[in-house]
Amino acid sequence: MIRIFPIVFLLSISTAFAQVLDEMSPAKDLIQELRRIHTPKGIETLEQINLNGSQQWISIRGKDRNNPVLLFLHGGPASPTMPTAWAFQGPWEDYFTVVQWDQRAAGKNWLNTDTTSVAAELHFRTLIQDAYQLVEHLRLRFGQEKIFLMGYSYGAGIGIRMAARIPEKLHAYIGIGQMAPGNPEAVIYQTLLRLAQDAQNAEALEELKSLAPYPNPIGQTPVGKLLAVRKWSRKFNGGWYGKSDFELLFALPSLSPEYTIEDIDNLAKSTSWISRRILSNGGAPDFPQSFDIPMILMMGRHDLHTPYESAIKYWESISAPYKQVITFDFSGHVPFLEEPGKFLVELVNKVKPLAD
């Protein structure tokens, strides 16, 4: 069961931050113009579509509609990548038609969300059903029999199950910050204790030891404990390598051309509200072990949100016609931002050829 989750981006955007966004408007305009797609076969659209009875926002960007479609499943839960994509996605668009999707009620969808009705809909299985419909929409829209599916963090929990269930619609699955079976929270905790001891960090050791037993042996681990562990994960390079927190990551949406001031102001509230409800409604029972498509794992070696060690063990255990592990030696949980050049090279050389 997915009972303990990687809290990647909870409570990330402050109200004070939103108050200065008006001053950033000129910078957003420059970024929007810099990213504008002018090629004859290009596509650049931001729109709502109906998925499983719910209006949901997608961004589609690429220099050539005939390029393979790549659908990015964001993490969280409910932490969209759309408002940070401007910082890393541009080069991908030369080789893929990239789709960012704000999942049910998340991100830009929050403004039109009836929380009373949507609360009962926020299940892991509902997100998978929504994703199925989006895959079908993209296949029909672009006339492509198959697309690439890229799952990130909590979205990799969705993606890995889709990879097992709809292989006939996918070129390959790419997992980043891959959720894995076993007891990843225990792996994170023990790794942090070792790192804190090696660094002789008394403050870290004291707080980490105060969280024991971790994770809780029975029932869900309290959110407060999860947040405390993630704080130290980031301090020890497990979030963004070389940075002790996610402040830069959380600031990126402020310059997103896709997001309004209101969208950004709602991010922290919506992420927290949705995450608690999705997780309280339960997860998926098991991780699949057998796949009929190529399986690519792209992991930061220092990742301590979805631990590298757990993901590697999972990949070693699965069966697939082709599988590969691509390691980013100077990355934690966001390798597409931490090592963007290497990430692009690997996408172009190792992933894109799988569409041929």
Residue 202 lies in a domain: no
Residue 41 lies in a domain: yes
Residue 216 lies in a domain: no
Confidence bin at 62 (pLDDT 50/70/90): very high
Show the domain range for 175.
15-182+246-355
* Residue 76 DSSP label: T
Closest CA to 237 of 202, 271, 188, 180: 188
Residue 193 lies in a domain: no
Count of residues in the chain: 356
Enumerate residues 6+ apart whose C-beta is below 8 A from 279: 5, 77, 220
DSSP-derived 3-state class of residue 296: strand
pLDDT digits (tens, 9 = 90+) for 285-311: 689 999 999 999 999 999 999 999 999
Output the CA–CA distances (angstroms, integers) from residue 252 to 87, 247, 258, in the order listed. Answer: 8, 9, 12
Confidence bin at 222 (pLDDT 50/70/90): confident
pLDDT digits (tens, 9 = 90+) for 119-176: 888 888 899 999 999 999 999 999 999 999 999 999 999 999 999 999 999 999 999 9
Residue 217 or 235, more confident: 235
Residue 198 lies in a domain: no
- Our count of domains for the chain comes to 1
Q: What is the CATH number of the domain that holds 332?
A: 3.40.50.1820
Residue 284 or 93, more confident: 93
Do the beta carbons of residue 214 and residue 185 sit within 8 Å?
A: yes
Residue 203 lies in a domain: no
Enumerate residues 6+ apart whose C-beta is below 8 A from 41: 63, 64, 65, 66
Residue 175 lies in a domain: yes
How far apart are the C-alpha atoms of 122 and 317, rounded to whole Å?
31
Sign of CA dihedral 140, 114, 3, 222: positive
What are the φ and ψ backbone dihedral angles of 212, each rounded to 5 degrees?
-65, 145
Place of tokens 């051309």: 257
Structure tokens at 139: 């296949």
pLDDT digits (tens, 9 = 90+) for 40-61: 999 999 999 999 999 999 999 9
Strand order of the β-sheet with 97-101 is 43-51, 54-62, 97-101, 69-73, 147-152, 170-176, 295-300, 323-328
Q: Is the peptide bond preceding residue 181 cis, with omega within 30 degrees of 0?
A: no
Residue 155 lies in a domain: yes
| pTM as predicted | 0.92
